[in-house]
């Protein structure tokens, strides 16, 4: 049996780690729209409420030809992160299409931006049987329409990863 003082120390240690994790991994300031403070109670995706059009511009829909495969997240001006299971290395890069700015994936909006891939990198130890290491990076083809924004897709705070949107 663990002495009571040791139990107390272990509990405090566990709480400290939990608190630290909550502070640095996905803080509430990350990935929030600029006007979220005004709309905080009205426009949450959680709870089955629909997002407003043009929200979450760093999210992307991945298609093979015209068939939706899955989503991804912009992590840099030219790189996306997605699941490795979304990438089928039997298909050529030209068949992959990326659409930013979709509100309804069956109907692109006028402001939607289409991109293609120049490269994909699947985790070398990805296992499709058990989905271990289920991660892949996708490199975007960039055009004149893709510009790094001075604004950010999330508030520029420590712990936030996405710092770019397409204008």
CATH fold of 36-140 reads Thrombin, subunit H (2.40.10)
Name which of 116, 79, 71 is nearest 96 in CA terms: 116
Query: How many CB atoms lie under 10 A from the CB of residue 85?
Result: 15
Confidence of residue 130 (pLDDT cuts 50, 70, 90): very high
Q: What is the pLDDT of residue 24?
A: 43
Tens-digit pLDDT profile for residues 72-92:
998 888 889 999 999 988 888
pTM of this structure: 0.57
Q: Quick one: pLDDT at residue 63?
A: 92
pLDDT (0 to 100) of residue 26:
47
Strand runs (DSSP E) across the chain, as ranges? Answer: 59-64, 67-74, 79-82, 96-100, 113-122, 136-140
What are 60's strand-pairing partners? 72, 100
Cα–Cα dist 4/6, whole Å: 5
User: Do 72 and 80 touch, CB atoms closer than 8 A?
Assistant: yes
Domain limits of the chain?
36-140
Summarised one tens digit per residue, pLDDT across range 25-84 is: 445 555 555 455 444 544 444 455 677 776 777 788 999 988 999 999 988 888 899 999
What does DSSP assign to residue 80?
E
pLDDT digits (tens, 9 = 90+) for 142-162: 763 444 333 333 433 444 444
């Amino acid at each position: 049996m663990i002495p009571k003082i040791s139990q107390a120390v272990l509990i405090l240690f566990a709480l400290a780690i939990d608190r630290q994790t909550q502070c640095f991994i996905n803080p509430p300031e990350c990935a929030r729209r600029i006007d979220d403070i005004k709309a905080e109670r009205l426009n949450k995706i959680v709870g089955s409420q629909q997002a407003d059009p043009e929200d979450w511009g760093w999210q992307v829909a991945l298609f093979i030809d015209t068939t939706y495969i899955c989503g991804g997240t912009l992590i840099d001006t030219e790189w996306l992160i997605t699941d490795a299971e979304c990438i089928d290395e039997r298909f050529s890069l030209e068949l992959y299409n990326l659409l930013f700015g979709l509100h309804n994936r069956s109907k692109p909006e006028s402001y939607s931006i289409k991109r293609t891939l120049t490269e994909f990198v699947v985790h070398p130890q990805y296992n499709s049987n058990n989905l271990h290491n289920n991660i892949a990076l996708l490199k975007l083809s960039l055009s004149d329409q893709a510009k790094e924004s001075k604004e950010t897709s999330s508030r520029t705070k420590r712990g936030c990863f996405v710092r770019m949107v397409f204008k």
